[in-house]
Each structure stands twice: as structure tokens, then as C-alpha cells.
């Protein structure tokens, strides 16, 4: 989590600095990110073969290349009972949940009136058929 604090000590122009409660911890060869009371495992992978670059947008479609990405990091919740894992699971479940709603269909023709017309035509056809059979 980030918060902005104005620097007044040692910097008289009052520029903005960032302060965070996030820490990277390397223990037993593994890397973790601690944010408050949440722990995320980090896997670092080589990204040189991806030919990925980082760009900065300056507005109105102008992009400036900041450099090539050499490594990429994947952040994963450290346990199944963590708050971040529960939130990610709920997000994935909500995207795959079927929602049953009443579907509306707007038409130019009245289906009830069309049904009545079809019934009246079948009645007329039956009447004409019975009249022609009697002759």
C-alpha cells in the first residue's frame, strides 16, 4: 500500500516521495512479498526470449520506450487460507457463474396477434375442406 508524504526535512522544495509497508524477503532461496499481513510468493522468470518492452504513455497516442524487460515476476498467494487467495477465487468464480435472468425480446410484431391469425387461417382451411368434401 502506498501513501504520499511531502518531504520537508532536507528538501526545501517539498517534492513528493513514496512510502510503503511492502517488503521483499529472501529466505532459503525463495522470494516473498510482505504487504501488511499478506504474504505473496514470488517466482522470477527469464523474459529475454519474450522480447517484451516497457512503454510509457504521454497522451494522444504517444508512447515512449523505457527499456526491455529481462525478467518477469509472478505473484501468488502463499496459502489457500490467505485473504488474497479467497478474493482471487471469488473473482474467478464470479466470472464463471451462470446468471439466470428473464430475457427480454423486443419485436415489431405482436406474437399473440400472429398466433390468432394462424388459428383463424387453420379454421378457415378446415371449413373450406369440409365444404369441399360435402360437395
For residues 34 and 22, is the Cβ–Cβ distance under 8 A?
A: yes
Could you tell me the three cell numbers for 36?
Answer: 501488511
Give Cβ neighbours of residue 41 (< 8 Å, ≥ 6 apart): 30, 31, 32, 75, 76, 77, 78
Average per-residue pLDDT for the chain: 83
In this prediction the pTM is 0.51
pLDDT at residue 36 in the model: 84
User: How do residues 56-81 score in pLDDT, each as one tens digit?
Assistant: 999 888 999 999 999 999 998 888 88
- Which value, in Å, is the radius of gyration of the alpha carbons in the chain? 34
For residues 19 and 6, is the Cβ–Cβ distance under 8 A?
A: no
Task: Mark 54-82 as b/e (b = at least 16 C-beta within 10 Å).
Answer: eeeeeeeeeeeeeeeeeeeeeeebbeeeb
Q: For 102, which DSSP code?
A: P
User: How do residues 30-45 score in pLDDT, each as one tens digit?
Assistant: 999 998 888 899 999 9
Amino acid at each position: 500500500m502506498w501513501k504520499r508524504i511531502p518531504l520537508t526535512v532536507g528538501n526545501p522544495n517539498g517534492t513528493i516521495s513514496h512510502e510503503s509497508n511492502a517488503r521483499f524477503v529472501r529466505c532459503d532461496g525463495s522470494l516473498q512479498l510482505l504487504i501488511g499481513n499478506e504474504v505473496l510468493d514470488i517466482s522470477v522468470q527469464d523474459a529475454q526470449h519474450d522480447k517484451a518492452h516497457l512503454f510509457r504513455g504521454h497522451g494522444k497516442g504517444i508512447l515512449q520506450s523505457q527499456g526491455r524487460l529481462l525478467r518477469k515476476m509472478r505473484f501468488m498467494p502463499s496459502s489457500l487460507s490467505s485473504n488474497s487467495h479467497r478474493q482471487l477465487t471469488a473473482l474467478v468464480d464470479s466470472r464463471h457463474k451462470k446468471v439466470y435472468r428473464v430475457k427480454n425480446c423486443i419485436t415489431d410484431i405482436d406474437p399473440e396477434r400472429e398466433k390468432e391469425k394462424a388459428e383463424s387461417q387453420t379454421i378457415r382451411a378446415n371449413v373450406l375442406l369440409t365444404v369441399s368434401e360435402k360437395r
